[in-house]
Structure 1
Amino acid sequence: MPRQSLPQASLTILLSQWSVLIQRNFQVFLADKLNLALTILQVPLIAMLIVGAFYQFDRDKHIFDEAARVVYYFDLLKTPLEQADKAVNIDKLYKYAQFLAQEIDENLKMDYINQQISPYFTAKSVTLPNRVITFPQTTSPLPISDLASIRRGSIYFLLVAASIWFGIMASCKEIVTEQPILKREIRSYLFIFPYLAAKFWVLMLILGVQTGLLAMMVVPLLLKLSWLHTGWIGLILWITASAAATLGLFISCVVTSYRVALTLVPLLMIPQLLFGGLLRPPADIAPTNNWLIVTNTLSALTIQRWAFEAILTTDIYAKGGILKLQVNPKGRGELDLVRAINSSLVNSFFQPRKWGDFEAGYRWPPLLYLGSASILFFLGGYLALRWRFT
């Protein structure tokens, strides 16, 4: 009896094949003890490498963090005095700014504001800026410099890169190594769609464990975030690894040799690292010529770039706390030469996205892109197998 085409097949047959194939894939995965061990052990190995490379990274450039805070508070304190046309006591304001910039107990800081800074502004008949009191006292930890934000962003970048590596390496060999068997089974009774869906489902479960473990081993220790933040990071890493897995499945559907698939892996990973948003952040690229337009286009085609943007939104500095130093050579005086602008970790790498008058967020559009890319890669793999074997 000839095999039915996919539109003619009943949902029961498709689900039955999908269920059987899931069981078979798990049996094959668990039977290969060496591959199982490597799949499990690569997660703590990569986690230890990241932790070892970035341990106590928050102490790097620490002096620049305090200097940026001094500039920020000094500018904050002098602005209302200048607006009221009052004399600016540079030494006194610098002393206040230095104290506010230190990592000290918040209660001591509030006492200092009430006993020293507020009386000075009251005597000048000038209102103390509210941000001196509310920022960063209501946020934790203290603001950091733009230089330190690069270090923090690098950890997220490596977490995303590791997740992409998990996804591509786990999937690139799945179909190409089964081509002789697949060709025979497709001609007899097997449908391509449940076959691919079963592969993807098993990969998703494996990648979910890997990315979850990676997040739990790295995030609380290095980034010192709560378990809620860790959960969000693990979820985004899982989505990222799943998108990379569909890319790997697509490659495995197209190529005819396992060696070719492995050769393509570095060719897929290198653009992720080059155009993923860390080495040259999109926020710094102005498309002034054709080459930079090509650079932005290549960046937009990578999984890394979108996953990196999405994962930065989970950080405690996602909405503020990054002090970017700006030089203004056209200022009215030396006090206006340098300013520290309160920005966010996401803005350190990516520009705000606007669709007309609507300003889109940083998290959901990238995740939508990753989901769409997964669907396109999956359908591409399905069409490639159908063209080759049916």
Structure 2
Amino acid sequence: MRVLFVFTCAAIWVGLSGSLQTIIREAAIYARERLVNLGLFPYLGSKIMVLCFLGLAQTLLMAAVVLLGFKSPEPTLMPWIIGLSITTFLTLVTSGCLGLAVSCFVHNETQANTALPLLLLPQIIFSGVLFKMEGIGKIISWLMLSRWSVGAYGALVDVNAMVPEPMKAPDGSIIPQPFEVTPVYDPTWSNLSLNWFLLGLHAIVYLTLALWKQKQKDIF
């Protein structure tokens, strides 16, 4: 789980870093061109296309590093390289869309840079890896793209099957498990598809927020 968690955090960090300044850096140019004939959809569409192309290149690089640096598992759902690439690409693009949305709300590039750790911390805390999510924490975790990225990775490699059987210590107490078996990482197509779908849904929500905020900036 720690290794899969690192994959998710790396993808989110790369995606956010490449998009947080995208909109605010062009604020003056955007305002001028918007007064002429620049459309919102073509403008954001061009940013999404760039994100997708960058995401594809970054996915290839990250997948190469993972394949070279870590022993590949043998998932039953699909070949590891395919599942790894799809999940990494979706995580990169979704985090990039989050960065675009935040870039629409900040007022300068300094604020955009400051937002990076503030965005990463909740993703780390509420991913469900470091802490067990219960109650309100579980609901908050559903709003974090890290939760669905880790869930997809976990379903791919079936981490539930890696949990050892409970063992007793010499004093009779039960040795704590490294983590508990949970439906979050069920190695089923329905669970994997759900995680991928919700990553895509997060991206749509972030882009909708970006579109709405950019529309609010119109002065005509």
Instruction: Settle same-fold status: TM greater than 0.5.
Output: yes
After superposition, the C-alpha distances for 1:135-182 in whole angstroms (9 at most, x for unaligned) are xxxxxxxxxxxxxxxxxx111111111100111111110010100010
Match of residue 245 from structure 1:
96
Structure 2 counterpart of 1:297, from 107, 117, 139: 139
What letter corresponds to residue 320 of structure 1 in structure 2? A
Match of residue 322 from structure 1:
163
Match of residue 379 from structure 1:
208
Q: Is the aligned partner of 1:259 residue 2:110?
A: yes
After superposition, the C-alpha distances for 1:86-124 in whole angstroms (9 at most, x for unaligned) are xxxxxxxxxxxxxxxxxxxxxxxxxxxxxxxxxxxxxxx
> Gaps spanning 5+ residues in structure 1: where?
1-152, 288-292, 328-333, 354-358
**Aligned partners of 1:386 and 1:215: how far apart in 2?**
37
Q: Secondary structure at the match of 1:277?
A: coil
Q: Where do 1:278-293 residues align within 5 Å?
A: 278-282=129-133, 287=134, 293=135
What letter corresponds to residue 143 of structure 2 in structure 1? L
Shift of 1:318: 4.4
Q: Is the aligned partner of 1:188 residue 2:36?
A: yes
**Aligned partners of 1:352 and 1:204: how far apart in 2?**
27
Shift of 1:301: 1.4
**Aligned partners of 2:98 and 2:184: how far apart in 1?**
28
**Aligned partners of 1:352 and 1:271: how far apart in 2?**
19
Shift of 1:187: 1.0
Structure 1 counterpart of 2:149, from 307, 315, 329: 307
Match of residue 69 from structure 2:
221
> Gaps spanning 5+ residues in structure 2: where?
none
Q: Where do 1:338-377 residues align within 5 Å?
A: 348=180, 350-351=182-183, 361-377=190-206
Q: Is the aligned partner of 1:205 residue 2:34?
A: no
What letter corresponds to residue 19 of structure 2 in structure 1? S
CA RMSD of aligned residues (A): 2.8
**Aligned partners of 2:117 and 2:41: how far apart in 1?**
28
**Contact kept in structure 1, 2:87 and 2:149, CA below 8 Å:** yes
**Contact kept in structure 2, 1:156 and 1:308, CA below 8 Å:** yes
TM-score normalized with structure 1 length: 0.50
Q: Secondary structure at the match of 2:165?
A: strand
Following TM superposition, the consecutive aligned residue runs of length 4 or more in structure 1 with deviations greater than 2 angstroms are 223-228, 317-322, 347-353, 359-362
Change (3 A) 1:220 1:319: farther
**Aligned partners of 2:184 and 2:80: how far apart in 1?**
22
Specify the structure having the higher radius of gyration (Cα). 1
Shift of 1:349: 6.2
What letter corresponds to residue 325 of structure 1 in structure 2? P
Change (3 A) 1:360 1:233: closer
Shift of 1:326: 5.7
**Contact kept in structure 2, 1:216 and 1:230, CA below 8 Å:** no
Q: Where do 1:158-197 residues align within 5 Å?
A: 158-197=6-45
Structure number with the bigger relative contact order (C-alpha 8 A, sep ≥ 6) is 2
Q: Secondary structure at the match of 2:111?
A: helix
Structure 2 counterpart of 1:271, from 118, 122, 128: 122
**Contact kept in structure 1, 2:160 and 2:181, CA below 8 Å:** no
Shift of 1:216: 1.8
After superposition, the C-alpha distances for 1:285-344 in whole angstroms (9 at most, x for unaligned) are xx4xxxxx22222222111111001111222x44634323166xxxxxx9xx879x9xxx
Aligned length: 211
**Contact kept in structure 2, 1:168 and 1:248, CA below 8 Å:** yes
**Aligned partners of 1:352 and 1:312: how far apart in 2?**
8
Q: Secondary structure at the match of 2:136?
A: helix
Change (3 A) 1:321 1:273: closer
